[in-house]
Amino acid sequence: MENEQKKQVVFSAIQPSGTITLGNYLGAVRNWVRMQDEYNCIYALADMHTITVRQEPAQMRKNILDAYASIMACGIDVEKSIFFIQSHVHTHAEMAWILNCYTQFGELSRMTQFKDKSAKHADNINAGLFTYPSLMAGDILLYQADKVPVGADQKQHIELTCDIAKRFNGLYGNVFKIPEGFIPKNGARVMSLQNPLNKMSKSDENANGCVHLLDPPEVIMKKFKRAVTDSDACVRYAEGKDGVNNLMTIYGAVTGKTYDEIEKEFDGKGYGDFKTAVGEAVIEELRPIRERYEQLIADKAYLEDCYHKSDELALRISSRTLNKAMKKVGFIK
């Protein structure tokens, strides 16, 4: 127990806004799994973040359960870690409101994800989309997290979280631990297989650009075989070779091989062989996840048990920070 208390706290979350992608897995979830023994890990499905973009209710319910089962299937163990559903833990909405009042309009305006998403959803630039980073800051700060394992696209939001926390602490004393992003060396930014200048995303318009965690093997192989490359016909990591660089990144992240090793392995071979090798490596990495997902999704009662247990623990831990912050601000009991 004493040892438990010394462990650093890890917090991270993922939006259940569609099926989980290979990008989510290599950039974040794989590290969540790996960190479970060394840290006190707290993970969430950030379903409140998801409604910043309009959702179809029945589909959203399905996505939440599917995402929960998919993440568990990757290897999250609720005997070791907490894995809860954000909307079930009311402290998040409350903390987000408080932090909104300590976050500047200018700061939120500079968030590149807000700019991207408002361009993409120009008919629905709602206040939630704008203030989403303070909800995310609350998620992290409520648990006094030391480390936040995420992909590179969340770096700016984590920096803002630190700025908000420092500002709050500056006014009221040490209320929040200042967290640190934990971004993997390999796989932090997996790009679309069809447009390697854009990140691989659940909402890619071109279905072949995105590999989903639960894609069947033949679909995965087809997507890699169709991946955009170049006319250089040489497997090497270099500027301007975005498609090949991305495939090398994926291959390296899955096999643990360095770029040098990959270049040697495919010396004298064409892109066809290389794409097949990447496809096979990804298929083998995802096979056990898909099998485990099928078992989990068939057992809704077990999933419910897992998240109810985690929801309760998350509420207990986060209430401590929320109460402290509210007291400091000047609310009375």
Catalytic residues: 117, 199, 202
Could you say whether residue 92 binds ligand TYM (CB under 6 A)?
no
Residue nearest to ligand TYM (CB): 27
Could you say whether residue 325 binds ligand TYM (CB under 6 A)?
no
CA angle 9, 50, 79 (to 5 degrees): 35
Selected range binding ligand TYM among 101-109, 144-152, 218-226, 298-306, rule: CB under 6 A? 144-152
Could you say whether residue 285 binds ligand TYM (CB under 6 A)?
no
In terms of residues, how long is the chain?
Answer: 333
Query: Which one among 164, 165, 200, 244 touches ligand TYM, defined by CB under 6 A?
Result: 200
Could you say whether residue 160 binds ligand TYM (CB under 6 A)?
no
Tell me the C-alpha distance between 72 and 100, whole Å.
32
CB of 18 to ligand TYM, least distance (A): 9
Could you say whether residue 181 binds ligand TYM (CB under 6 A)?
no
What is the maximal distance between C-alpha atoms in the chain?
A: 72
Tell me the C-alpha distance between 276 and 271, whole Å.
8
Query: Which one among 9, 15, 87, 186 touches ligand TYM, defined by CB under 6 A?
Result: 15
Could you say whether residue 189 binds ligand TYM (CB under 6 A)?
yes
Give yes or no for a contact between 217 and 184, defined as CB atoms under 8 angstroms apart: no
CB of 138 to ligand TYM, least distance (A): 9
SS3 at position 76: coil
Selected range binding ligand TYM among 97-105, 143-151, 218-226, 319-327, rule: CB under 6 A? 143-151
Give the bridge partners for 42, in sequence order: 11, 82
CB of 268 to ligand TYM, least distance (A): 30
Q: How far is CA 159 from the centre of its chain?
A: 16
**Any idea what DSSP says for residue 261?**
H
Could you say whether residue 253 binds ligand TYM (CB under 6 A)?
no
Give yes or no for a contact between 41 and 10, defined as CB atoms under 8 angstroms apart: yes
CB of 210 to ligand TYM, least distance (A): 9
Query: Which one among 10, 46, 244, 286 touches ligand TYM, defined by CB under 6 A?
Result: 46
Give yes or no for a contact between 77 and 36, defined as CB atoms under 8 angstroms apart: yes
Q: Which is nearer to ligand TYM, 71 or 265 (CB)?
A: 71
Give yes or no for a contact between 226 and 208, defined as CB atoms under 8 angstroms apart: yes
Give yes or no for a contact between 237 and 248, defined as CB atoms under 8 angstroms apart: yes
Could you say whether residue 28 binds ligand TYM (CB under 6 A)?
yes
Selected range binding ligand TYM among 135-143, 251-259, 265-273, 325-333, rule: CB under 6 A? 135-143
Number of Cβ within 10 Å of residue 331's Cβ equals 10
Tell me the C-alpha distance between 99 and 265, whole Å.
51
CA angle 146, 24, 233 (to 5 degrees): 125
Provide the sign of the torsion angle of the four alpha carbons 84, 85, 91, 97, taken in this order.
Answer: positive
Q: Which is nearer to ligand TYM, 70 or 154 (CB)?
A: 154
Query: Which one among 47, 66, 153, 242 touches ligand TYM, defined by CB under 6 A?
Result: 153
Tell me the C-alpha distance between 236 and 306, whole Å.
45
Could you say whether residue 194 binds ligand TYM (CB under 6 A)?
no
Selected range binding ligand TYM among 134-142, 233-241, 291-299, 312-320, rule: CB under 6 A? 134-142
CB of 15 to ligand TYM, least distance (A): 3
Residues in contact with ligand TYM by the rule CB under 6 A = 11-15, 23-24, 26-28, 46, 49, 136, 139-140, 148, 150-151, 153-154, 188-190, 199-200
